[in-house]
Amino acid sequence: MKTTFAALLIFFTLSLFTFLPVSGDDTVTTSVNNTELVAYYPFDGNAQDASGNGNDGEIIGTASYIDGKYGDALALDGDGYVEMQTSDSLHGDLFKTDPFTLAVWVYRETGVYEHVWRSMPTESGHNTLFIFPDEGIISWRGFVDRVWSWDNLCETDPGVFETDTWFHIAVTNDGEKFRIYANGEKVAETDFQETDGGNAIYRIGDFNKHLIVDDYAVFSKALNEDEINLIMNTGVAQFLQTTQSEDIVDQVSLRRM
């Protein structure tokens, strides 16, 4: 099983500093403190936020839990999506100018498009992470000066996203560049543009035929490529473990798949 919710609440109150191997003898130094983890959704039988920030999701429509990359995963069918309200940490201007990272495992069959992450100031969408399964495109979009960005915030070439298999996606902003990572590899980079902000709610899914998500994390920091690979290869929970937390590690079971 993945980490229990109770253990994670204790775990994420720490300031995190860890040295973790990537492969072979390579070692990456990563530093993420407890205020930079905004939300974490393991989807281990529920849509609760395991970061301790209380950004719990509400499942609306049809959904079920199936075997995922790390323990359970959430399968959204047809009208199903997860909705989160804004908060002090998951605030409405998080994607306006602040540094951020969205990181998630997805499994999607063929289709026109899907909202992997959607921001909603009104019934119109805003800062949104799209996948276009039939074209193989991953795209980060939003409103800039009240004009929808279409593909000019950050978008991959066609043929990047793969259907009918687990696929890891991350999008980051460091205030200078937007970057998209596909299975740990940087596949798109564009200059930062300030978006309009003012989001009221956030959603995972929202236009799907069959979207499966697992190990979903939101950070108020732009993780680098090595850090994203660590998340992809070990899972969010293990990425966040510290050299000082052996007693906590003993309390949890971290499965690498």
Cα separation, 193 vs 53, in Å, equals 28
Kindly state whether residue 114 falls inside one of the protein's structural domains: yes
| Strand (E) or helix (H) holding 239 | helix 236-239
pLDDT score for 180: 98
% the chain with pLDDT above 90: 60
State the total domains in the chain: 1
Q: Which helix (H) or strand (E) holds 247?
A: helix 246-249
pLDDT value for 30? 56
Average pLDDT for 102-126 = 85
**What pLDDT, in 10s, does the model give residues 84-108?**
999 999 998 999 999 999 999 999 9
Q: For residues 214 and 105, give the distance between their C-alpha atoms in angstroms, rounded to a whole number.
A: 5
Q: Are 81 and 61 in contact (CB under 8 A)?
A: yes
Tell me how far apart the alpha carbons of residues 101 and 63 are, in angstroms, rounded to a whole number.
Answer: 25
Q: What CATH number is associated with residue 162? A: 2.60.120.200
226 within domain boundaries: yes
| Residue 255 falls inside a structural domain | no
Q: Is 51 within a domain?
A: yes
**What rounded mean pLDDT belongs to the chain?**
82
Label residue 24 by pLDDT band (50, 70, 90): very low
For the beta carbon of residue 153, count every other beta carbon within 10 angstroms. Answer: 24
Residue 101 maps to a domain: yes
Q: Supply the range of the domain harboring residue 154.
A: 5-249
Is the residue at 256 inside a domain?
A: no
- The 10s digit of each residue's pLDDT in 155-177 is 999 999 999 999 999 999 999 99
Q: Determine, yes or no, domain membership for 23.
A: yes
Residue 254 or residue 1, greater confidence = 1
Instruction: Please indicate, yes or no, if residue 126 is contained in any of the structural domains.
Output: yes
